[in-house]
């Protein structure tokens, strides 16, 4: 069973990374708030935990994850444009430009995803910090329990976010290294130059 899962992950690595990015983003969009409220007709205070999820943020979340996945595709998909026909020269230059931009700027594609994650992770610490200045905090019931629950959830999302970021960046770095051919292997350099001439643009970088 474990071998089947690991084999499936290897064959569908990009889909697995997208799934992790999307799940992490959805969990970070879950806005957890802790409030201390007075009990009606009594002199006690209760701690309540609320969880909010904006449907619009949830609807647009795949766009952020998909944009982050753009860092893992050569030339942002323009590589697969057919260059035959009257626009052959223009499409070849377009693909070459896309590869050049991808080589230099692809890690920035994950930046909007990171911003959304950081915004979601900031909610719980700010909420707990504000609760500490509440004058009714010593009389509030179950504050410590709910605060610990919120912290555990926050740490889980933080760990998942760091893991997702590392997975995405490692995959991007691996793709960048695959494109580069070193100077030592002359046969491989000649083979790479032949591929570039056949494609009409610099698919592989030869140092």
Phi, psi of 52 (to 5 degrees): -120, 145
List, for residues 107-145, the tens digit of each pLDDT value. Answer: 888 999 999 999 999 988 888 888 877 777 767 777 788
Structure tokens at 183: 């100077």
Helix (H) or strand (E) holding 149: helix 143-178
List, for residues 174-203, the tens digit of each pLDDT value. Answer: 888 877 777 666 777 787 788 777 777 777
Place of tokens 């949830």: 58
3-state class (DSSP) for residue 40: coil
pTM: 0.79
Domains of the chain, residue spans: 2-180
Report whether 147 contacts 36 (CB < 8 A).
no
List, for residues 59-107, the tens digit of each pLDDT value. Answer: 999 999 988 888 878 777 777 666 676 766 777 778 888 888 888 888 8
3-state class (DSSP) for residue 207: coil
Structure tokens at 171: 């995959």
List, for residues 54-67, the tens digit of each pLDDT value. Answer: 889 889 999 999 88
Place of tokens 């089947």: 4
Place of tokens 């701690």: 47
């Amino acid at each position: 069973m474990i071998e089947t899962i690991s084999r499936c992950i290897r064959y569908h690595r990009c889909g697995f990374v997208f799934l992790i990015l999307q799940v992490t983003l959805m969990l970070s969009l879950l806005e957890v708030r802790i409030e201390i409220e007075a009990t009606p007709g009594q002199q006690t205070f209760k701690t309540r935990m609320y969880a909010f999820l904006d449907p619009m943020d949830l609807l647009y979340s795949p766009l952020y994850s998909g944009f982050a996945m753009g860092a893992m595709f050569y030339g942002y998909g323009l590589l697969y444009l057919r260059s035959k026909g009257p626009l052959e020269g223009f499409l070849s230059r377009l693909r070459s430009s896309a590869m050049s931009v991808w080589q230099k700027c692809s890690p920035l594609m994950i930046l909007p995803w990171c911003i959304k994650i950081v915004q979601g992770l900031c909610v719980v610490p700010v909420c707990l910090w504000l609760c500490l200045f509440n004058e009714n905090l010593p009389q509030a019931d179950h504050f410590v329990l709910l605060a610990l629950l919120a912290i555990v959830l926050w740490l889980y999302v933080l760990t998942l976010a760091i893991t997702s970021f590392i997975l995405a960046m490692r995959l991007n770095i691996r793709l960048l290294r695959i494109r580069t051919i070193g100077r030592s292997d002359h046969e491989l350099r000649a083979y790479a130059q032949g591929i570039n001439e056949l494609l009409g643009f610099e698919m592989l970088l030869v140092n």
